[in-house]
Structure 1
């Protein structure tokens, strides 16, 4: 009984450290590794004959045969059986491509890898492939994958160069030059671990154990250790409380996919079509999407993914990221430091309308309320660099209130739909202003003939003023927007026509040299799409608007009016 219970312990309970916790989250998420190696073999690999001094008459041999023998003998082989077995032990699927020269040169390999990489989390490339020297094939394949990834944006990817090439510094330099401006950070010159951080993609270099020069390399990895190494490297892309919840959620969705499918059975098609017949297409299609989203939420609740950010995980984060003494100075004239233990306790025990008093390590007897002293945010003392605290707070606020704020979530020919919670930008004379669409969801569909959509003005203000919405402008600048329900009397209406789906859709247009999504009203006035509020935020804004517009004006005694404020 004890063993059964133990086997179902949550990873947060089993993790030995914060790094271990992040590795466990990454392993839950990772599914597929794709390897490209021309020396991939099952078993011990090809036997490589020792070099023999040429005999007289050797120059009469066919040069192509000599070259071929040299190429085949260059580099260590890759034991596919050991690699796939080690991957399976971690719950990973590993696909190995062993390209021929013809496949490299006629484009077959490039197309095949790009297709496979669309479903792969990790890509492993040998540096020397067949007859293309100096990593030419590997660099070309990497460029093709990166180009394809950029179409969808934000594609998490780990790329590992796993090679027997002795000059690993040369490999590193070639990769850095090829990736150029995509490289955001990189390893130091004297760092034996060679890596390149390209934002959503991380590139690492490891030597094949048994390959040329591997004895001199501190990064040589046995093939049976490669999957475990790749999991650790991938965790560097996702290591964080917030990202751990995200990757664990995706893992839970994958694991619960078949259960979800049993809820949405093909036998329900007639009932759905009957519903669609009476209710119309667009809202019926959206209903299915919302039902699937709700079912996914139940899957996440069942997997208890919130636990990846619970108190135990927070304590691990603090232990790994906070110094022993934390600078919490808010005024230059009042230097204050608190212990890691006190700050950790504050993170675990604080909450709404609660205070947490801590002691200043630099001044005996100075006990103060941490929350009051650092209002409205303590991000600056938790971030590795305090100067980016405002950026982090802004990005997290944007995450909480906006469903979309970037054209990239709309793949291929998809475009935004004008509906409740859509934020748009319009030209008002020589100035631009921002509006919030207040059309209820149920009235945003079945738009055939012209329909007037109500818009509430949003005031763009400085960050030092009062605001309750944030978004990036179409130009990528930070917006601080103030919504007031008292602006109900400033509501403006513009008439739009529905498209083929009986909804108002945006068109992709170039505005001042940049691609934007634009709605056009009946007078061809342009409304540039900015963002979409999350449903709850949009609904609350409309509720506040309706409440303000339905206030009951009442003449009453001044005496009574003042009495209620006692």
Structure 2
């Protein structure tokens, strides 16, 4: 079907293989480094030795003669082929390093010494290395004849990742021990002790899609060191299995590839110009914000140079995704028509206009706006899955940061949210919850020296018709609608925090609960819960809607002329 729609005489392809290659290319662009932790490293040596190397020549005796002594040469050193037996518990670091290099990955090693062992130092080194590594390879028996040290390290890594509000993590247990069920149970239990819960998805493979965690258990004799990196790269494609994941991984890979050029754009020769501009700009903080935006722009340029969006989000990538999902597409009826595979491929090829889709011959297939949600339902498989996906996508589009979503909020410097344009707050008013978005211009939220009023637009709770959707701490979604006509505007005052000259939130870490932030108003002694920060352009759009509604002008022209201008005649 898709061959007919998207191209004439398209060659037959295996959708599964085609999609795997797509995901694999994304994984290869992203992966840059790995760390291997093993306490039994060695370097294989097979150097051939000639008999001449064992001849000892005595110094000239002055008579023009020399004396040659034959040394006893070990038989194994002069053998043409030296037999090499693999010890399943030892790790050939040269082969591992070379194999990773051939895959385009840098490989670091943490090699604990059993004869000079300090558990705390080993754990610290492993955690530091794991923090910056894409792949962590660790031996099961890391000290003595016990997996206890590895189990502790797994728990510590999990705790660290949970504290960061999650991160992509790939761990490989690479062991010479027999891989038995007890090993699998211990791996899951150790990670669970740190708050990561993985499920068995294949033999020796554990995965958590929600927590972005992948763990594989591999026997050293089953997968040789020279084959390990390619095996791991293929396993990593599980993270790239989707249009959005493959795009994100490739985009980050593009930034990583170009990062060394990007930093050269910010040369120290610009220091004096930056300082001068900051000193003569009011407010000066805007210049620092400008530099941050310029660096982000360099990241965007890197993604553009590598054509990431074209390769992973455009028509060809979507076609591969449709091919692989073809069996999961569920036709949806609207009127006498159907949103089915034929229509979906047609929409991909020819696009859509206000009336609907068109065939190659130009014939219209009507698809009114009120039925276009059927496309999402058809692709997701059912209405509930469609709604869940659309809500998550909406939150990604609207929010720069979320209090109770997937945004990372805990940094090494103790980050706190600032009250600015687009800040979303919630106030508990008796039994009711009230929601407000800050509309104070960003430039008026800086350089504050005293109590300052902030302007908020109050939202109406409406889970069927909403301007934005947010996730609350209970995990439920809440729809908020901002009224253009008859809006409710409120003003609350706040004090700047310390020497920051900004209003910053206060962090709360309830025991056993999720970290959250609050703002305390001085005007009514009310505490607001911080729910996130709406992207500036989105907040400005709400401000523009209000201004547009208030600036409406009555009839000031010929209605006939107005309709002509709108293209009605």
TM-score band, normalised by shorter chain: 0.7 to 0.9
Change in Cα spacing, 1:536 to 1:377, as seen in structure 2 (3 Å) is farther
Does structure 1 retain, via aligned residues, the 8 Å contact 2:138–2:172?
A: yes
- Matching of residue 91 in structure 1 with residue 104 in structure 2: yes
- Matching of residue 186 in structure 1 with residue 200 in structure 2: yes
Change in Cα spacing, 1:388 to 1:250, as seen in structure 2 (3 Å) is same
What RMSD, in angstroms, separates the aligned Cα atoms of the two structures?
Answer: 3.0
**Equivalent residue, structure 2, for 1:287:** 290
TM-score for both structures, normalised by structure 1: 0.80
Give the superposition deviation at 1:451.
2.0
- Post-superposition Cα deviations, 1:42-65, rounded to whole Å, max 9, x if no partner, equal 1269xxxxxxxxxxxxxxxxxxxx
Give the superposition deviation at 1:368.
6.7
TM-score for both structures, normalised by structure 2: 0.79
Give the superposition deviation at 1:426.
1.3
Consecutive unaligned residues in structure 1, runs of 5 or more: 1-14, 46-72, 210-219, 359-366
Q: Any residues of structure 2 matched to 1:94-113 within 5 Å, and which?
A: 94-101=107-114, 105-113=118-126
3-state DSSP class of the match of 1:476?
coil
Change in Cα spacing, 1:472 to 1:385, as seen in structure 2 (3 Å) is same
Give the superposition deviation at 1:118.
0.7
Does structure 2 retain, via aligned residues, the 8 Å contact 1:282–1:502?
A: no
**Equivalent residue, structure 1, for 2:468:** 469
Q: Distance in 2 between matches of 1:502 and 1:97?
A: 45
With 492-501 and 405-414 compared, the bigger mean Cα shift is at: 405-414
Give the superposition deviation at 1:298.
2.0
- Matching of residue 393 in structure 1 with residue 375 in structure 2: no
**Equivalent residue, structure 2, for 1:114:** 127
3-state DSSP class of the match of 2:435?
strand
**Equivalent residue, structure 2, for 1:222:** 224
**Equivalent residue, structure 2, for 1:261:** 263
Q: Distance in 2 between matches of 1:164 and 1:344?
A: 50
Q: Distance in 1 between matches of 2:322 and 2:500?
A: 51
Of 368, 377, 380, 2:377 maps to 380
Q: Distance in 2 between matches of 1:132 and 1:400?
A: 51
Change in Cα spacing, 1:102 to 1:537, as seen in structure 2 (3 Å) is farther
3-state DSSP class of the match of 1:28?
helix
With 471-480 and 526-535 compared, the bigger mean Cα shift is at: 471-480
Change in Cα spacing, 1:149 to 1:171, as seen in structure 2 (3 Å) is same
**Equivalent residue, structure 2, for 1:231:** 233
Q: Distance in 2 between matches of 1:354 and 1:561?
A: 26
Change in Cα spacing, 1:252 to 1:196, as seen in structure 2 (3 Å) is closer
Does structure 2 retain, via aligned residues, the 8 Å contact 1:197–1:203?
A: no
Give the superposition deviation at 1:284.
2.8
**Equivalent residue, structure 1, for 2:482:** 483
Does structure 2 retain, via aligned residues, the 8 Å contact 1:176–1:196?
A: no
**Equivalent residue, structure 2, for 1:505:** 504
Does structure 2 retain, via aligned residues, the 8 Å contact 1:350–1:356?
A: yes
Does structure 2 retain, via aligned residues, the 8 Å contact 1:357–1:370?
A: no
- Post-superposition Cα deviations, 1:264-299, rounded to whole Å, max 9, x if no partner, equal 111111111122222344333222212211222222
Equivalent residue pairs, number: 494
- Post-superposition Cα deviations, 1:75-132, rounded to whole Å, max 9, x if no partner, equal 4322111111111112101112221236654311100000001100111111122314
Change in Cα spacing, 1:480 to 1:242, as seen in structure 2 (3 Å) is same
Does structure 1 retain, via aligned residues, the 8 Å contact 2:112–2:122?
A: yes
3-state DSSP class of the match of 1:128?
coil
**Which protein shows a greater Rg?**
2
**Equivalent residue, structure 2, for 1:270:** 272
Give the superposition deviation at 1:521.
2.0
